Chains A and B, each alone.
Chain A
Amino acid sequence: MFKLLLVLKYLRRKLAPLFAALAVMLCTAMVIIVMSVMGGFLENFRASAHALTGDIVVEGPLQGFTGYEELVATIEALPEVAAAAPMLRAVGLVNFRDTAKPVQLQGVDFQKLEQIVGYKKTLLWNNDQLRQHLRDPQSEAGKAFVAKMTRAFPIDPGPEAGAKIPALALPEAVMGVEVYPFQRRNDDGDYELSRSRAGEKLPVTVIPLTEAGTVGVLEPVRREILITNEVKSGLYDIDASAVVLPFSTLQSMLNMQPRTGFTDFDPNTGRGGEEIQVPGRANQLVIKAAPGADLLAARDAVQAVIAKQWEDRPLQFPPLARTWEEVHQNILGAVENEKGLVTFLFGIIGLVAVVMVATTFYMIVLEKTRDIGVLRAIGASRGGIMGLFVGYGLAIGVVGSLLGLAIAVGIVTHLNEIQAILNTWFGWQMWDPKTYFFDRIPDTVNYTEALRVVAGAIISSVVGAMIPAWIAGRLKPVDALRYE
């Protein structure tokens, strides 16, 4: 009981423990802020990566594999799977007038893709924005946009034009917002609609592959596609290179569509053998797992279906099923490692709190040596004295870390407002949205992690107090009384 009495008194009436609590508070706040921002950053990356990938991706060779319809149907019948759709990916070239740029073409069934990954969330320009722009068609921005949209859609750019824009529920084709090399973000990190290529027809060129995956047999195919929207997923790999087309369009461009062919066809004579049906090819499947299904179990079930279907294709490597996390492991792993590394580094700085507490307590023990002697002289045990200082460390840890938590929560949840104030007052922008793909600094506290940090800070404080407490407990009463 005397320990509680003295701890409360010491806490209230001494400056040294205040500094120790301050050190614990700052270290706790610092670690929580770093973990929250880095964690938010990672979560944003994960959400972005998940947005256009689905839960599970099946990847085959670039020249594709046949029987994808049957494979999709079998996979969709699995209890672990909610939906599946075929996809195509190919390397292509987009021409912006005299500027050519290599792109990653993706062929998708937009309806199915929406069902599987909800890609609409990543569309940068929504109908409301388009309409708002058209409500003032006489403005410069309005005129530029109307000009573009007029080329894309036969609309009348009059006062009621907004209402006449067809709903862009399913775009004909979309591309990553950074594909256009001259797109720029303003200081707020926003893209300029006036620089958007949405509404333009762009020439896209692909080189079809043969069924064996060879290049050069088939001529490059060039086709104009209408860009009806742009995608901002948050992942630079996608936003700077993806052009998404209807599955059938890309399939026919790649000569992978189902068609009629001939056995032993001779292109020189134009003669062939028997007429056969050449099956269509896809080189990727995108899958949505059933609600609550374990992704790894679903992946294994899909892989088992593939293995079964590939039993009669001994010369072909079966496509590989991977979860979305496995697909994006390189970028997610990098950010996770960065988060871990930064947390580790700040954790080391957190050791400063331990040293601070230890130093402060050692000073307190020296300062309180005579009091320790008095307490021992009037009957306090060694354990009681140790318990007094350990309890003191615990109290400092609790007070410091809870204050640190409160400060961290206050800062993290207002980071964007703080940045705005710093920007207004000092012109300093700590988070440049032009550099990062996220407009806002992640401002969500992971309370589970934060409470772990608080617990760590409390334990650190107790550890920091233990050696001085042990020294205090070892003091002989008569030596402590004579201490000057």
Chain B
Amino acid sequence: MNLTATPAPAAVTAPPPILRAQAIEKTYRMGGKDLRVLKGVDCEVRPGELLAILGRSGSGKSTLLHLLGGLDRPDAGQVFYDGEDVYRRRGRELDRYRNHSVGFVFQFYHLLPELSALENVTVAAMLQRGVAGWMGAKKQLTQRARDLLDQMGLADRMTHRPSKLSGGERQRVAIARALINEPRVLLADEPTGNLDQETGASILELFDQLHAGGQTTVMVTHDPKVADAADRVVTLVGGRLAGEEVAQSPTDQPAP
């Protein structure tokens, strides 16, 4: 499979990180009590790498991913994208960040049930374009969505609604949706967590191919075997960074 993705910049020395979380703290109020989910986490995502955030349920890994992706605001600390503080952005700028700079893949796919596979992908391309912008690029963007679905092996499933697709197919549609706007960073929250082992393996293979094509990816998982595919693994325990592990030769690692 030959996947289209943003090529990694050629790095002679260690390139600056695309994404960087600095001293992130996040507390949720649940049942009248404060629950500190993240307690000063530092983390960075380098261009072209596949970073796994490993941790048990409740360790704060999904919260960290949401904060990296602009879905929520940290109580303290900062998130930098290309050196710029993401949370200094307001309103439409932050919406545009979520739409263009990062792409989300969720554990439960989160496809819109009324739309076909193709429409689920193209809708992400419509969001930050007005009617005129969409109509001007409609042909090109629709073709890109078709190509992506084709590359995901869903050429004959484009008009199917999510309810008519299997779990693996839905996740592939979700990946195509995340890639339609050519984001620099793909953020995946337990992308295999809701799939059987075989289907999960095929999805990991997809991520591997995207990574091989230079796509910067951050993947949250509780499964060390899934994390094995990553260039680098950071482990979260109780809302704190507990360790970091770097694969010796990430690009040569076999697909899980």
Residue among B69, B113, B126, B181 making CB contact with A1, cutoff 8 Å = B126
Interface residue A381 (Cβ < 8 Å from any Cβ of B): yes
Contact (Cβ within 8 A) B91 A381: yes
A1-B126, A377-B71 known; A6 vs B66 contact (CB < 8 Å): no
A285 CA / B100 CA spacing, docked (Å): 83
CB proximity to B under 8 Å, residues A1-54: 1-2, 4-6, 9-10, 13-14
A175 CA to B123 CA, complexed, in Å: 77
- Interface digits, A116-156 against B, CB 8 Å rule (1 contact, 0 not)? 00000000000000000000000000000000000000000
> In the complex, are the beta carbons of A379 and B127 less than 8 A apart?
yes
Query: Is B129 in contact with A379, judged by CB distance below 8 angstroms?
Result: no
Contact of B127 among A2, A14, A476, A477 (CB under 8 A): A2
Instruction: Give bound CA distance, A320 to B167, whole Å.
Output: 88
Say yes or no: A378 contacts B127, CB within 8 Å.
Answer: yes
| Residues B72 and A478 in contact, CB atoms below 8 Å apart | yes
Known: A370-B110, A476-B72, A478-B72. Is A382-B115 also a contact (CB below 8 A)? no
Which residues of the other chain, B, contact A381 by a CB distance below 8 angstroms? 91-92, 95
Chain B residue contacts of A13, Cβ below 8 A? 114
Quick one: which of A10, A379, A382, A478 contacts B100, CB cutoff 8 A? Answer: A379
B112 adjacent to A6 (CB under 8 Å): yes
Instruction: Give chain B interface residues in 115-151, CB to chain A under 8 Å.
Output: 115, 119, 123-124, 126-131, 134-135
In the complex the two chains form, is A380's CB within 8 Å of B127's CB?
Answer: yes
**Closest CB in chain A relative to B165 CB, distance in Å:** 16
> Is there contact, CB below 8 Å, between B95 and A379?
yes
Chain A residues 52 to 67 lying within 8 A of chain B, measured CB to CB, are none
| Residue on B nearest A384 in the bound complex, by CB | B127
Residue contact A377 to B69, C-beta cutoff 8 Å: yes
Q: Given the complex, which residues of B lie within 8 Å of A477, measured CB to CB?
A: 71-72, 98
B26-67 contacts to A (CB < 8 Å): 66
A377 close to B115 (CB less than 8 A) = no
B171 within 8 A of A: no
Chain B interface residue count, CB cutoff 8 Å, equals 34
Q: Is the CB of B124 within 8 A of A378?
A: yes
Q: Among A379, A382, A478, which residue has its beta carbon within 8 angstroms of that of B99?
A: A379
Within 8 Å by CB of A478, from B66, B114, B128, B134, lies B66
Check: A375 CB closer than 8 A to any chain B CB. Answer: yes
Instruction: Assess whether A202 is interfacial by the CB under 8 Å rule.
Output: no
Q: Does A371 reach chain B (CB closer than 8 Å)?
A: yes
A327 at the interface (CB under 8 A from B): no
Chain A neighbourhood of B114, CB < 8 A: 6, 9-10, 13-14
Residue of A4, A10, A376, A381 with most chain B CB atoms under a 10 A cut-off: A381
Give a binary string over A343-373; 1 marks a CB under 8 Å from any B CB, 0 the rest.
0000000000000000000000000001101
Is B104 an interface position by the 8 A CB rule? yes
B177 at the interface (CB under 8 A from A): yes
Query: Quick check: is A481 within 8 A (CB to CB) of the other chain?
Result: yes
User: Is A374 located at the chain interface by the 8 A CB criterion?
Assistant: yes
Minimal beta-carbon separation of B176 from chain A (angstroms): 12
Q: Give the docked Cα–Cα distance between A14 and B114 (Å).
A: 9
Question: When chains A and B are docked, how far (Å) is the Cα of A6 from the Cα of B135?
Answer: 16
Docked complex Cα distance between A370 and B71 (Å): 13
Query: B72 contacts A377, CB within 8 Å?
Result: no
- CB-CB < 8 A to B181: which residues of A? 379
**Neighbouring B residues of A370 by C-beta, 8 Å:** 110
CB distance from A10 to the nearest CB of B (A): 6
Whether A380 contacts B95 in the complex (CB less than 8 A), given A1-B129, A13-B114, A375-B127, comes out as: yes
- Cα separation A144 to B157 with both chains bound (whole Å): 87
> A5 touching B126 by the CB < 8 A rule?
yes
User: Which of A373, A374, A375, A382 is the most central at the interface, judged by chain B CB atoms within 10 Å of its CB?
Assistant: A374
A5-B119 in contact (CB<8A)? yes
Query: B residues within 8 A CB of A380?
Result: 95, 127
**Inter-chain contacts of B134 with A (CB < 8 A):** 1
CB proximity of A368 to chain B, nearest CB, Å: 9
B94 to chain A, nearest CB (A): 9
B222 CB-CB contact with A under 8 Å = no
Q: Determine the chain A residues whose CB is within 8 A of the CB of B100 once the complex forms.
A: 379
Is B240 an interface residue, CB under 8 A from the partner? no
Min CB–CB distance A372 → chain B (angstroms): 10
B177's partner among A1, A10, A376, A378 (CB-CB below 8 A) is A378
B99 partner residues in chain A, CB cutoff 8 A: 378-379
Q: In the complex the two chains form, is A1's CB within 8 Å of B71's CB?
A: no
Question: Whole-angstrom distance from the CB of A475 to the nearest CB of chain B?
Answer: 12
Taking the closest CB of chain B, its distance from the CB of A394, in whole angstroms, is 16
Closest CB in chain B relative to A369 CB, distance in Å:
12
B106 at the interface (CB under 8 A from A): yes
Mark each residue of chain A from 440 to 457: 1 if its CB lies under 8 Å from any CB of chain B, else 0. 000000000000000000
Task: List B contacts of A374 (CB < 8 A).
Answer: 106, 110-112
Q: In this complex, which of B69, B114, B130 has the most chain A Cβ atoms within 10 angstroms of its Cβ? A: B114
**A56 → B minimal CB distance (Å):** 58
A409 to chain B minimum Cβ distance, whole angstroms, is 33
Closest to B98 in A: A379
Asked if A378 contacts B98 (CB within 8 A), the reply is yes
Residues on B with beta carbons closer than 8 Å to the beta carbon of A10: 114
Q: Which of A469-484 contact B (CB under 8 A)?
A: 476-478, 481
Q: What residue in chain B is nearest A2 (Cβ atoms)? A: B126
C-alpha gap A80/B112 in the complex (Å): 70
Residues of B within 8 A of A4 (CB): 131
Q: What residues of chain A lie closer than 8 Å to B127, measured between beta carbons?
A: 2, 375, 378-380, 384
Is A481 a contact partner of B106 (Cβ separation < 8 A)?
A: yes
The winner among B91, B124, B130, B178 for most chain A CB atoms within 10 A is: B124
State whether B112 touches A371 (Cβ < 8 A): yes
**Which A residues are in CB contact (< 8 Å) with B95?**
376, 379-381, 384
Q: Give complex CA distance A5, B135 in Å.
A: 13
List, in ascending order, chain B residues with CB within 8 A of A5's CB: 115, 119, 123, 126
Q: Considering the chains assembled together, what is the distance between the CA atoms of A14 and B124 in angstroms?
A: 22
* A379 with B96, Cβ < 8 A, contacts A1-B130, A481-B110 known: yes
The list of the 10 closest CB pairs from A to B, nearest first, reads A379-B99, A9-B114, A2-B126, A1-B134, A478-B72, A379-B127, A374-B110, A1-B126, A478-B71, A381-B95
Known contacts A371-B113, A377-B98, A377-B106; 5 additional CB pairs below 8 A are: A1-B126, A1-B134, A13-B114, A374-B106, A478-B66
Chain A positions within 8 Å of B, measured between CB atoms, are 1-2, 4-6, 9-10, 13-14, 370-371, 373-382, 384, 476-478, 481
Could you list 9 examples of A-B contacts with CB < 8 Å?
Answer: A1-B134, A5-B123, A13-B114, A377-B104, A378-B177, A379-B95, A380-B127, A478-B72, A481-B71
B residues contacting A by CB (< 8 A) are: 66, 69, 71-72, 91-92, 95-96, 98-100, 103-104, 106, 110-115, 119, 123-124, 126-131, 134-135, 177-178, 181
